[in-house]
Structure 1
Amino acid sequence: MNKRKIKDLLYEQVARVGKAVSSPKRLELLELLAQGENSVEHLATELSISIKLVSAHLRVLREARLVTSHKEGKFVVYQLAGKDVAGLWVTLREVSEEHLIELRMALSQMVAEPSKLTTMNRETLLKHAKDGNVLVIDVRPESEYEQAHLPFARSMPINELANRLAELPKDKDIVAYCRGPFCLFSEDAFQLLTRKGYRVHKLLDGVSEWQAAGMPLMSK
């Protein structure tokens, strides 16, 4: 094989990954699977598409070796092929945000009030959470929290939050996070807790962003 053919083959193999992540729904699947393994049925519900369509998207990701699967009873469960795949999603999103003004404008609508966001960096937040000065709440589904969460965070799923307000202190800052900058659960939590008089802020990080920054994670 001549050198030109070898180079073509190398680029072709890398392009397989590029093609696999060229779909918005497949990117969302990577973000969801970065929270932990999940069944095809659950993923279809989260993406609001049919099981047949989500299976087709997962097949493309599997062919690019970005995800793997196994059977649990009658269900097929998918997971990322490695932590580096979650890092790929974070890097791709960050590069897109840096260079696409359209994405920055869309994101600005989600964080239209900078005062919503915590001003603490990751290390400071971790220290304050460890010392009990700040309460970090994870508003994702509990199944995602159990697979990986920020250290010292408490699981408070968004669909349970309104009924669990008595568990939250009003004399302490609360920081809510969910799946990352594109997730709206933390915004819903912010709105609810603000109306109820809590001192609350949002963290744009999800577990993928936290991990990509070299910060520790915990699992139940």
Structure 2
Amino acid sequence: MQIDIKQPILGKNDELAKKNRDLFAQHNVFVLDLLASPGSGKTSTILATIDALRDEFNIAVIEGDIASSVDAEKIKAQGIAAVQINTGGACHLESDMIRRAVDVLDLERLDLIIVENVGNLVCPTDFDLGENMKVMILSVPEGDDKPLKYPGVFQASEAVILNKVDTMPVFDFDRDAFYASVNQLNPNAPIFPIAATKGEGVAEWAEWLAEQIRAIQ
């Protein structure tokens, strides 16, 4: 006899995610779920995105980490509301965690919530949070072979950010091979090459995101 525990877990999560999605839609809040591995530059990308969009949109951030509140403090230092979720070991965020975090935010005043998911290229793809879209961040030092090794996260994402492109001369990164792999897995996903800490390419990514936010308002 085989017992599948995954489906009941995902089923409950999906029910709560639908309630989250309905809540966000009622308030016209766009929710972005950022997926990436540790060290890819999630927080620096979030900070650069905030800097590009804060004049037009009211933004809050939900930070997911196994432990600590380091990233949330960086966001708060920029005058942006941030809620820290510590999973205590879980490798992903779930819809009930998002709902509890959202309860301390003023949705009436928000246009965009950015969720920084736990650094992981596998299990976060399975969990719907009620978000409008998932976006994948990969950094050049991680290597151009990641779409081949972790296809699920690229297939689940509506856009791909290639971060730290300023380091490309230092690393053996085949940009053409990377683009071809992503396009094969997800031909509709645009790819945005950026260097978040330097601001390079951020304007193009931010404008694309702004178009998605405007579409629901």
Greater gyration radius: 1
Higher RCO structure (Cα 8 Å, ≥6 apart): 2
Query: What's the TM-score once normalised by structure 1's chain length?
Result: 0.29
Structure with a larger share of its residues in helix: 1
The structure with the largest strand share of the pair is 2
